[in-house]
Amino acid sequence: MIARHLEANGIPTVVMGCARDIVESTGVARFFWSDFPLGHSAGKPHDTTSQAATLSGALSLFDAAQAQITVASPQIWAEDERWKEDFMSVAALDPETLARMKAAHEQDRATLGKIKSSDAG
């Protein structure tokens, strides 16, 4: 919605994303789509080559696209597409792994809470 507002006021935008159906339904002008898990629209984590390629692909839309367009990134998340079935699925996790992940999440939340508290004060 922000991109549409900016576009209506003469400011070109490019949206990068992974949820193609959702983003396209909003009617953005230029969309650089990566067939990656949600949350990874800027490229693979800790992979500066993937991130740079994603940014380069998205920025190229400013030069090439004058009309509403979706361009698919040529990058792939993994050779085997089974990640689409397994990504973020807790069904296959054993109780110990699930407990470890939950503890790490709670630690992250506590750290974020401390950061927010120090920023407010």
Q: Say if residue 22 is exposed, middle or buried (CB neighbours under 10 Å; 0-12, 13-18, 19+).
A: exposed
For Cα atoms 47, 50, 51, give the angle at the middle one, nearest 5 degrees.
85
Residue 86's pLDDT is 72
Residue 68's pLDDT is 85
Residue ranges with strand state E in the chain: 15-17, 30-33, 69-72
Model confidence at 37: pLDDT above 80: yes
Q: Give the containing element (helix H, strand E) for 25.
A: helix 20-25
Distances from the Cα of 104 to the Cαs of 25, 107, 109, in angstroms? Answer: 35, 5, 9
Backbone angles phi, psi at 77, to 5 degrees: -70, -45
Q: Which residue has the higher pLDDT, 12 or 85?
A: 12
pLDDT tens digits for range 57-85: 999 998 876 778 999 999 999 998 888 88
Model confidence at 93: pLDDT above 90: no
Q: Say if residue 53 is exposed, middle or buried (CB neighbours under 10 Å; 0-12, 13-18, 19+).
A: middle
First-last CA distance in the chain: 33
Residue 7's pLDDT is 87
